[in-house]
A and B are shown apart, each in its own frame.
Chain A
Amino acid sequence: MNCSDVRDALESYIADDLTDAESARLATHLTECDECAAEYEHTREVVSRLTGLADAFVPRERYVPRPAYVPRPAGGWGWRIAAIAASVIAILAVGAMSVPAIARQLPLPVAREIDALESQNDSLRERVDELTVRLETIGGAEVAIVDTAEGDLSAEENSAVQLLAMAFIRAQYAGDLDALAGMGTDRLRADLATHPDDYLRAQGADVVFAQMTEAVLAEDGTYLVFVRLSDSVEWTDSQYQENFEIKRVGDRYLVDFMGMDA
């Protein structure tokens, strides 16, 4: 191995990408050649500074995928609608002008589908118009509550479900896995045990509860509550959403599923 070969292979040597025989030959050369040994030291130093450097970058904007799984509401309730209201209205605005023109050129079934979608959008928009938001103090925090206009839950049930969601979120920020498990059903505990990282948030961050829905009882007996929040560390510039499915087990309310949403 001459000096030129050694220089070419130094990076691979440092990364341990050479065969044992190649490594041994190179190491021998380094003991015999001061210039190559110095070059090795320089390269090793810069490589060690580069290694792990990327971990120091914490982007402020975090990507959150739209979940494929969306809890199905029992009846018409407002939060999901509020979340998609902007896009619905945008579709309507475009739709009002372009759909009839397009529809005329499309095969009939497609045109019918567009009609059906349009009427769905209309009814969604009516529901968005019906939404009211009021400020309430829940669990010591002032939260804007989105009225889901269901009205069939007692105040007691509603606040038990909302308080559980808030306590769950606070435990997520406290990193308290035991507390989270204590608030969950078997299904949630199993998921928590296998994916604890999905449940933990920026430890010690201040949490801001921005908005929360009234609890809604789905046909299968699951309570749904959605919370929008931000915090002082990871979500400083935007809010995210946690969607809760809560079940009543005996006289206790337990979280059965928590999903994160943008």
Chain B
Amino acid sequence: MEDQELVARALAGDARSFTTLVRRHERSLYATAYAITRSQWDAADAVQDALAEAYVKLGSLRDPARFGAWVSRIVINTCNTVLRRRGRVLPMEEPPEPQAFVWDGPEDGIDLMRAIQTLSPDHREVIALRYFRDLKVADIAEVLGTPAGTVKSRINRALAALQAALGRTEQEVSR
């Protein structure tokens, strides 16, 4: 079933359809929040807050087919809120192993995620929206309120920076 139809059902009062939407998007939303906040715990908070907000505000989504982009925007906002809040409290140290999530992927994926975490905030954000949330450049431009041309060049620079970061990690490993 398309997102669009699930949104319509959820709006008609079927909470299970919203749960289906959540299950469909939660992994990539979590990955996005983790890339942005660089904290497993903050990512969990940001995603919970975002989904609760999405559930309440679902009626304000004008084009149900664009649920994916819409909920991405909400996650970016809740991540920013979490990051502002974090400025006032001592962050919990990141454990070397996943604790707030279960890693259900290839081993080298964790290394790739670590390399992403070394990038600048702007670069982590576009990488997450483009490859985790699988958004088109035009959608990312809308989510970030940034011209499409800027998004495009930011993605290119982010990929170059990521390749460089991966190169560094591989050199460290071979040393």
Contacts and interface: CB of A to CB of B under 8 A. Distances in A.
A55 B103 CA distance: 9
Nearest to A43: B159
B104 A63 contact: no
Interface residues of B, number: 51
Contacts of B159: 11, 43, 46-47
B44 A61 contact: yes
A50 B127 contact: yes
A36 to B, nearest CB: 13
Interface in A37-89: 42-43, 46-47, 49-69
A62 B131 contact: no
B61 interface: no
Interface in B71-124: 99-106, 108-109, 112-113
Interface residues on A, range: 35 or more
B32 interface: yes
B14 interface: yes
Given A50-B127, A65-B55, 4 more contacts: A55-B27, A58-B104, A259-B15, A260-B16
Interface of B: 1, 13-20, 22-23, 26-28, 30-32, 34, 43-44, 47-48, 51-52, 55, 99-106, 108-109, 112-113, 127, 131-133, 136-137, 152-153, 155-156, 159, 162-163, 166
Interface of A: 7-8, 10-12, 17, 42-43, 46-47, 49-69, 195, 197-198, 259-260
